[in-house]
Amino acid sequence: MMQTEQPNTDGQGGLVDAPRLLVELFPNPECRPSLRWLRTQVAERTLPFVRIGRLCFFDTQMVKSHFAARAMSKVKGQ
Protein backbone atom coordinates (compact mmCIF):
# COMPACT_ATOMS: atom_id res chain seq x y z
CA MET A 1 0.00 0.00 0.00
CA MET A 2 1.50 3.32 -1.07
CA GLN A 3 1.13 6.16 1.38
CA THR A 4 0.72 9.63 -0.09
CA GLU A 5 2.70 12.49 1.37
CA GLN A 6 0.28 15.30 2.06
CA PRO A 7 0.97 18.23 4.40
CA ASN A 8 -1.14 18.54 7.51
CA THR A 9 -3.84 21.05 6.58
CA ASP A 10 -6.17 20.65 9.55
CA GLY A 11 -4.56 23.58 11.37
CA GLN A 12 -3.70 21.59 14.46
CA GLY A 13 -0.22 21.68 15.85
CA GLY A 14 1.46 18.79 17.51
CA LEU A 15 4.63 16.82 17.31
CA VAL A 16 5.69 15.14 14.09
CA ASP A 17 8.60 12.90 13.20
CA ALA A 18 11.44 13.94 10.89
CA PRO A 19 10.07 12.63 7.56
CA ARG A 20 6.67 14.21 8.26
CA LEU A 21 8.33 17.53 9.17
CA LEU A 22 10.10 17.62 5.82
CA VAL A 23 6.83 16.94 4.00
CA GLU A 24 5.02 19.70 5.91
CA LEU A 25 7.77 22.29 5.54
CA PHE A 26 8.66 21.48 1.93
CA PRO A 27 5.56 20.19 0.09
CA ASN A 28 7.38 20.04 -3.26
CA PRO A 29 9.49 16.85 -3.27
CA GLU A 30 11.95 18.35 -5.75
CA CYS A 31 12.84 21.18 -3.36
CA ARG A 32 12.85 19.12 -0.17
CA PRO A 33 16.15 18.69 1.68
CA SER A 34 17.23 15.21 2.67
CA LEU A 35 16.51 13.44 5.92
CA ARG A 36 20.25 13.35 6.50
CA TRP A 37 20.36 17.17 6.36
CA LEU A 38 17.61 17.33 8.99
CA ARG A 39 19.42 14.85 11.24
CA THR A 40 22.60 16.94 10.90
CA GLN A 41 20.70 20.05 11.98
CA VAL A 42 19.39 18.19 15.02
CA ALA A 43 22.87 16.94 15.90
CA GLU A 44 24.21 20.51 15.68
CA ARG A 45 21.20 21.69 17.72
CA THR A 46 20.27 24.38 15.21
CA LEU A 47 16.60 23.34 15.05
CA PRO A 48 14.10 23.21 17.91
CA PHE A 49 13.12 19.62 18.70
CA VAL A 50 11.72 17.49 21.49
CA ARG A 51 13.38 14.26 22.47
CA ILE A 52 11.21 11.61 24.08
CA GLY A 53 13.50 8.78 25.06
CA ARG A 54 15.62 8.13 21.99
CA LEU A 55 12.96 9.44 19.61
CA CYS A 56 13.11 12.94 18.17
CA PHE A 57 9.97 14.97 17.36
CA PHE A 58 9.37 18.45 16.01
CA ASP A 59 6.71 21.11 16.41
CA THR A 60 6.11 22.34 12.87
CA GLN A 61 5.13 25.87 13.93
CA MET A 62 8.25 26.25 16.09
CA VAL A 63 10.50 25.13 13.23
CA LYS A 64 8.75 27.51 10.81
CA SER A 65 9.20 30.44 13.20
CA HIS A 66 12.85 29.44 13.70
CA PHE A 67 13.44 29.54 9.94
CA ALA A 68 11.68 32.92 9.71
CA ALA A 69 13.76 34.39 12.53
CA ARG A 70 16.95 33.00 11.00
CA ALA A 71 16.09 34.51 7.60
CA MET A 72 15.40 37.89 9.20
CA SER A 73 18.71 37.86 11.07
CA LYS A 74 20.54 37.19 7.80
CA VAL A 75 18.71 40.08 6.16
CA LYS A 76 19.67 42.40 9.00
CA GLY A 77 23.28 41.21 8.79
CA GLN A 78 23.56 39.78 12.28
Q: Please state the domain extents for the chain.
A: 17-76
Banded pLDDT at 72 (limits 50, 70, 90): confident
Reported in sequence order, the residue ranges of 1-78 that DSSP labels E, i.e. its strands, are 15-16, 50-52, 55-59
Q: Considering only CA atoms, which of 1, 37, 2 is closest in space to residue 19?
A: 37
Provide φ and ψ at 59, rounded to 5°: -95, 115
- pLDDT per residue over 28-47, tens digit each? 999 999 999 999 999 999 99
Helix (H, G, I), strand (E, B) or coil at 55: strand
pTM over 0.85: no
The pLDDT of residue 75 is 72
Q: Is the pLDDT reported for residue 1 higher than 50?
A: no
> How many other C-beta atoms can be found within 10 angstroms of the C-beta atom of residue 45?
8
Q: Which amino acid is at 76?
A: K
Average pLDDT over residues 4-29: 79
